Structure 1
Amino acid sequence: MKLNKSTIALSLLTSCACYAAHANEERGYITESGIRITPLFESSLEHNDNIGRFSSSQKPESSGVLVLEPGIAFESDRGGNEHLVAYQISSGTYFDSSDDNFLDHKFITNNFIRLNSKHGVSLNYNLLLLHEERGTGLSAGDSLSTVVTDPVEYLINDINSTYVYGSDGAKGRLELSLGYLDRSYKNYRDISNPNLAQLSTKYKDFDEVSGGSAFYYRVMPATQALFEIELVKRNYDLADPATTRSQDSLDQFYMIGSKWDMSGKTTGKLRLGLQNKDYEDSQKDQFTGFSWDVDLTWNPLEHSQVTLLGGQRVRDPEQGRNYVKDKFLTSGWKHHWKSNFYSDIELLLRNSDYSSSNRDDDFYSNRLALGYTLNDITDLVLGWKYERVNSTINENSYKQNVWYLSVNLVL
């Protein structure tokens, strides 16, 4: 297990919670002690034609947006011990809707210590102060996005560690992991409107403890079979305001699959298995069913890359009181037509089926971008992003277009 030295993690994944901003190995400054320091600066000028993601029954709000994202990363690799510390601040200024302005902070540190040829330990920590754009997450739907005045803000602390037994080229390798995450909301904690009081964000604060084990067995020189078990125990600070019963749950994943790396042309990971979600409240719907995920990168040419990411699992909803089943598929293609000119295309399809209601959302988005490498440190990108949601709840359906021009620097 090694840190990926070709990427500096600085922009968020996920429904998830991971980062990625690309940095060339030749860039940055190396100190006498061998630490690589890489300053980063990303900026974009955008026009958004539906800031609040309103449905067709509402008049959309549009605005220009200036986003500035300076950051810095420190990297070290000595004798198999790898360390990364990175920080980025993201500032968004809306020219015609200052209430939507945001200021995010992202701090991460990833560390891997090689104890000897067979033993290693990773220790990673993320501190994230982020926001949800109006019309997403807790404020999705016209009834909320039309009354929310500021973006919903939240804080995440995420620490995890993995013990590795076995070298990268060994016949077998065992990984044991343990993690802790807490998420707390910073505004809209006590909504005074009695009709909306149950939507106060304090009811969504939680912490979770996770643990897992994975065994990799090399079946061919470039292919490993994997067997994995993961448990995630989530505890909410407060009970469900509507039922006064617990919102806590336990997720269990039992997965098999494979991982491969074929001469740098194709890398990937595929897992298939079972997810079991048990709520402490016995009156809630429990879930036991099929779960899968795939992460594939294909380089048909030296200057071309195709990616595929997909999966299916159930999760706790931002809105509602029972689980949501998500199925999604993302594909991307980045191609350099010349050494300094490239195109970047991405498509995302996602279906979210809410078990406690008749709500079913079909989400589609695409991103089309043309990039020009001005010099060794500067990229200019012209692009268009489009989102569309078709929901069985009419007020949750919307369309949004964002046109943007960005300047990205890696010094």
Structure 2
Amino acid sequence: MSKQKALFTLSAVATGIIFAGQASAIEPQPIDLGGVGLVPTLKISETYDDNIWEAPEGDDKRSSWVTSVEPSLTLAARDRLNIYQLNYRLNNSTYHSSQEDDHTDHFLRADSHMEFSARHRLDLNAGYNKQQDTRDSTNRDNDEVGNKYHSTNVGGLYGFGAQTAKMQLELGANQEWRKYDNNRDSGSLTREKDRDTLSLVTTGYYRVAPKTRLLAEVQYNDYDYDTNTLDSEGYRYLVGATWDATAKTTGTVKVGFEEKDFKDPSKNDPDNSTWEVGMTWSPLTYSRVLLNTRSRAEEGSSTENFVDTTSYGISWEHDWTDRVTSNLGYSFTDKDYEGGSNNGRNDELDSYNLGVNYKMRRWLDLGVGYSFKDNSSTDANSAFDRNQVFFNANVSL
């Protein structure tokens, strides 16, 4: 492989991990470090947020301009079909009208994709994050800053069977350790949220057409809390299908049921229907409609046993020219809180967003956007509306 072609490949690999899921993005030119590509990028955004704490109307509702600076470094290397990546980024957020909320988040991630033969492949990943949330209904009334926490994870996914074979099998595992660093004696009770999570997944595929496969999947999650009584084991059993570029659509549909078994016999064990759906419809080569919906029991806290969550979303991405892309989206999330002092609480969140991106240069993207959230809740302290207007720039070499 020539040096120029190798760098082009590294650029594509590194760009893919940084900007995965974006409709358009800058095209970084990697720095050659002797077979390894280094891709530095920088994202700068300025946002006006009229409700940074997601508070109801009243004294707790606070607005601020927020400046975000997010540099990122990615090292990428490729050996035939094997790909290796190391990415570090930080996000520094400055709240000009609420300086106690200033914070810097750190994200470190390593990924590898290895293909031992046409029938055997392995993806490995590891990561470390150190983050701070903005204040919410649990801690906006006291003098504490937002909850700070750090998490570490290691995981992998083994695939057996050639990509064109009739059947394939995937086996996945992930271990996450999460610990909160502050507010441990306040009303937010973050000490109750420290937990270790083991996740296992087995997925079998059966090809029924060149680009369509049926699937059956079993997921297992073991939640081990340090101090809380929320220790549990969860199982999800799903069947469905996945297809690529069939009749202008790409997507995956999974439906089934889930059960959660708490180690505390006094808690009710949920047994619910569950689903995951994600589809992209491309009626034109320059226009895409994305649909998604999911339903599952999510982890609770010291105030509830679990949260039965269902969400629906639709968005439209359109390339008006080679340089100008717009996106318009709406999502709805319904949350039912089960058990504990929050038992019977219901939240319904409507979210709207609109954005336009201008690809000014290969190395420079400019964007502008608006988002609106409206959360209605049976808990008066958790109902809010929030407007955000932002401008951003993505820069690379």
- TM-score, shorter chain, exceeding 0.5: yes
- AA aligned to 1:203 is E
Partner Cα separation in structure 2 for residue 353 and residue 35 of structure 1: 49
Partner Cα separation in structure 1 for residue 91 and residue 145 of structure 2: 16
Partner Cα separation in structure 2 for residue 100 and residue 163 of structure 1: 42
* 2:265 alignment counterpart: 282
* 1:390 alignment counterpart: 376
Partner Cα separation in structure 1 for residue 33 and residue 70 of structure 2: 28
Within 5 A, what are the aligned runs for 1:34-183?
A: 34-58=35-59, 60-135=61-136, 140=137, 144-183=139-178
SS of the residue corresponding to residue 323 of structure 1 reads strand
How many residue pairs match? The answer is: 383
Alignment deviations for residues 234-282 of structure 1 (CA, whole Å, 9 cap, x no partner): 100113xxxxxx3200010111011100269422111011101111011
Partner Cα separation in structure 2 for residue 167 and residue 84 of structure 1: 24
* 2:291 alignment counterpart: 308
Please state how far the C-alpha of 1:206 moved relative to its aligned partner. 0.2
Please state how far the C-alpha of 1:410 moved relative to its aligned partner. 3.5
Partner Cα separation in structure 1 for residue 230 and residue 275 of structure 2: 25
Larger displacement relative to structure 2 (263-272 or 216-225): 263-272
Decide whether the 8 Å contact of 2:219 with 2:237 is kept in 1: yes
Sort the Cα spacing of 1:25 and 1:96 in 2 relative to 1 into closer, same or farther, 3 A: closer
Percent pairwise identity? 26
Please state how far the C-alpha of 1:26 moved relative to its aligned partner. 5.3
- AA aligned to 2:130 is L
Sort the Cα spacing of 1:267 and 1:25 in 2 relative to 1 into closer, same or farther, 3 A: farther
Alignment deviations for residues 342-391 of structure 1 (CA, whole Å, 9 cap, x no partner): 21112121000001212100011111112222111111111111111000
- AA aligned to 2:336 is D
Sort the Cα spacing of 1:101 and 1:30 in 2 relative to 1 into closer, same or farther, 3 A: closer
Alignment deviations for residues 57-93 of structure 1 (CA, whole Å, 9 cap, x no partner): 4452111110000102222332211222111100000
Within 5 A, what are the aligned runs for 1:239-254?
A: 239=228, 246-254=229-237
Partner Cα separation in structure 2 for residue 25 and residue 383 of structure 1: 18
Question: Aligned to 1:205, which of 175, 194, 200?
Answer: 194
Decide whether the 8 Å contact of 1:10 with 1:21 is kept in 2: no
- AA aligned to 2:80 is G
Within 5 A, what are the aligned runs for 1:207-246?
A: 207-239=196-228, 246=229
SS of the residue corresponding to residue 192 of structure 2 reads helix
* 2:6 alignment counterpart: none
Please state how far the C-alpha of 1:303 moved relative to its aligned partner. 2.0
SS of the residue corresponding to residue 99 of structure 1 reads helix
Q: Structure 1-normalised TM-score?
A: 0.88
SS of the residue corresponding to residue 202 of structure 1 reads helix
The runs of 5 or more residues in structure 1 that have no matched partner are 12-18, 240-245
Partner Cα separation in structure 2 for residue 83 and residue 148 of structure 1: 44
Partner Cα separation in structure 1 for residue 230 and residue 51 of structure 2: 33
SS of the residue corresponding to residue 308 of structure 1 reads strand
- AA aligned to 2:87 is A
Please state how far the C-alpha of 1:25 moved relative to its aligned partner. 9.3
Please state how far the C-alpha of 1:148 moved relative to its aligned partner. 4.8
SS of the residue corresponding to residue 55 of structure 1 reads coil
Q: Structure 2-normalised TM-score?
A: 0.91
Please state how far the C-alpha of 1:23 moved relative to its aligned partner. 7.8
- AA aligned to 1:150 is V
SS of the residue corresponding to residue 56 of structure 1 reads coil
Partner Cα separation in structure 1 for residue 328 and residue 264 of structure 2: 44
* 1:15 alignment counterpart: none
Larger displacement relative to structure 2 (120-129 or 261-270): 261-270
- AA aligned to 1:259 is T
- AA aligned to 2:113 is F
Decide whether the 8 Å contact of 2:155 with 2:175 is kept in 1: yes
Sort the Cα spacing of 1:373 and 1:280 in 2 relative to 1 into closer, same or farther, 3 A: same
The runs of 5 or more residues in structure 2 that have no matched partner are 1-11
Decide whether the 8 Å contact of 2:352 with 2:372 is kept in 1: yes
Partner Cα separation in structure 2 for residue 353 and residue 148 of structure 1: 29
- AA aligned to 2:196 is D
Please state how far the C-alpha of 1:7 moved relative to its aligned partner. 5.4
Within 5 A, what are the aligned runs for 1:291-302?
A: 291-302=274-285
Partner Cα separation in structure 2 for residue 410 and residue 216 of structure 1: 40
